[in-house]
Amino acid sequence: MCREKILTDNLDRVEKIISLASQKAAFPGEAVSLMAVTKYAQDKDVLTLLSAGRLRHIGESRVQQAYLRWTNPVFAKYSVVKHFIGHLQKNKAAKAVELFDFIDSVDSLSLAETLSRFSVKKGKNLRVLVQVKLTDKDTQSGLPLAQARELVKQIASLPGLTVCGYMAIAPQVQDPQELRGLFRAVRHAFEEDFPCGKERWLSLGMSADFAVAVEEGSTLPRVGSDIFARNLEDL
């Protein structure tokens, strides 16, 4: 089978799983959008899906690499919502603000203040999500839920930023019920802290767990390898 067909089949499959999961969701009727994580994808594969009009939200985790890709005219002519989902170093913040529509990995007041300053300077309205940490492991970025909720309040009034919700990366857990419980806790906080408005996003779920995440109320699952690597390793 040709590469283009595998890619569109992969995307069809992911969208179908999301659609089924959203019918079972704890909060049905809430629109779910797919974020295609393009960080490891080859340019030609991203262009295949862009030119088919199949990508709306994309996620990248390296500022410089994303900047080179998405400012290239071949990519820049497509209108997509660009999310930064990696750990953001302050010395890359100016460039990140220039390129991205959303920074989904805000986990400190000082980072938010830096983003606010650059955003005001550029006359932008930068959308941000606060990253919640779902495990005690030190290797994970993000803030424990209670602190993440505090940060939302602290940054709500910063100029140039709109805080729109939460992002979290699930730990590897053996028990699927435990995973549901972790997602559910974030969902409850999201419901309370972002009760309405059209710019509200709850970004839970990756290739390994996006069906469960959407069932538990994620509105912006982030899927990379199930789109750009599945069935393509040996091509």
Ligand X SMILES: *Cc1c(COP(=O)(O)O)cnc(C)c1O
In whole angstroms, the minimum distance from the beta carbon of 52 to ligand X comes to 20
In whole angstroms, the minimum distance from the beta carbon of 40 to ligand X comes to 7
C-beta closer to ligand X: residue 3 or 117: 3
Percentages helix, strand, coil for the chain (3-state, rounded to 5) are 45, 15, 40
Kindly list the residues in this chain that would bind ligand X in the complex (CB under 6 A).
Answer: 37, 39, 61, 85, 169, 206-208, 222-226
Report whether 218 contacts 203 (CB < 8 A): yes
Evaluate the CA torsion angle 214, 135, 153, 121 in order and state its sign.
negative
In whole angstroms, the minimum distance from the beta carbon of 30 to ligand X comes to 20
In whole angstroms, the minimum distance from the beta carbon of 213 to ligand X comes to 11
Report whether 142 contacts 131 (CB < 8 A): yes
C-beta closer to ligand X: residue 22 or 131: 131
C-beta closer to ligand X: residue 158 or 169: 169
Q: What's the maximum distance between 2 C-alpha atoms anywhere in the chain?
A: 52
C-beta closer to ligand X: residue 187 or 222: 222
C-beta closer to ligand X: residue 97 or 104: 104
In whole angstroms, the minimum distance from the beta carbon of 223 to ligand X comes to 5
Q: What CA dihedral angle connects 182, 31, 225 and 16, to 10 degrees? A: 110
In whole angstroms, the minimum distance from the beta carbon of 105 to ligand X comes to 7
CA 55 – CA 37 distance, rounded (Å): 10
Enumerate residues 6+ apart whose C-beta is below 8 A from 118: 93, 94, 97, 98, 160
Residue in this structure with the two tokens 């989902």, named with its chain if needed? 85
Report whether 150 contacts 107 (CB < 8 A): no
Candidates 7, 16, 102; CA nearest to 60 is 102
C-beta closer to ligand X: residue 59 or 217: 59
In whole angstroms, the minimum distance from the beta carbon of 86 to ligand X comes to 6
C-beta closer to ligand X: residue 115 or 223: 223
Report whether 140 contacts 152 (CB < 8 A): no
Shortest-Cβ-distance residue relative to ligand X: 224
Residue in this structure with the two tokens 């435990």, named with its chain if needed? 178
